[in-house]
Chain A
Amino acid sequence: EVQLVESGGGLVQPGGSLRLSCAASGFTFSPFRMHWVRQAPGRGLVWVSLISGDGKTTNYADSVKGRFTISRDNAKNTVFLQMNSLGAEDTAVYYCARDQNGLGYWGQGTLVTVSS
């Protein structure tokens, strides 16, 4: 069974940093492009970042470029999102998703709250 489990969310002060993880299981991880998508409270889905299967290609939404870094460890079946210089506008549930047949599998999400 394909599973994606996010972790690392929590309460952080403005200007702070967090590192999110997404642990994958139930499938061969390395071939798949992975995405992070976020959803602010009561708002819609917003794409954040992607990483290719080999980790060589990444891209970011303009709103996070220069502050967030996506990476992956194919030996540990995990994708990461390092988030720096966090602001209130980054408060959201962060989902990781596998890119096949659309975003065919999603994790349950991890909540990031940026507040003093």
Chain B
Amino acid sequence: QSALTQPRSVSESPGQSVAISCTGTSSDVGAYDYVSWYQQHPGKAPKVMIYDVTKRPSGVPDRFSGSKSGNTASLTISGLQAEDEADYYCCSWAGNSLAFGGGTKLTVL
């Protein structure tokens, strides 16, 4: 059970776009189309932003999008806003278990 690999931090200016990568293996990200992304603000519970690689729950802005190629998934946030500043975690089904990434701190400059 290995953690997925994410960059520790990314930063970008308001209105710009940013992509956060999530690299796993052929046993998790590469094996299943069950990658999800979570946003977590300090002191709060995580909130799902993307599930099943590309799907957005109702209420999540369409500025958030997901994709996957091989063993790497990505979360793209376009039109960055101040409230997007948070920690982001990827998560993949890994065959009767889940694997999380280490988290990426997004700073909106």
- Residue positions of A touching B, CB distance < 8 A: 35, 37, 44-47, 50, 57, 59, 61-62, 95, 101-104, 106-109
Q: CA separation between A44 and B90, bound complex, in Å? A: 11
Query: Which interface class (under 10, 10 to 19, 20 to 34, 35 or more) fits B?
Result: 20 to 34
- Residue positions of B touching A, CB distance < 8 A: 1, 3, 36-38, 40, 45-48, 50-52, 55, 57, 87, 89, 91, 96-103
Known contacts A101-B55, A102-B52, A103-B91; is-contact A95 B46 (Cβ 8 Å): yes
The smallest beta-carbon distance between B33 and chain A, in angstroms, is 12
**In the complex, which residues of chain B have a beta carbon less than 8 angstroms from the beta carbon of A50?**
96-98
Majority secondary structure of chain A interface residues (helix, strand, loop or mixed) = strand
**In the complex, which residues of chain B have a beta carbon less than 8 angstroms from the beta carbon of A57?**
96
**In the complex, which residues of chain B have a beta carbon less than 8 angstroms from the beta carbon of A37?**
46, 98, 100
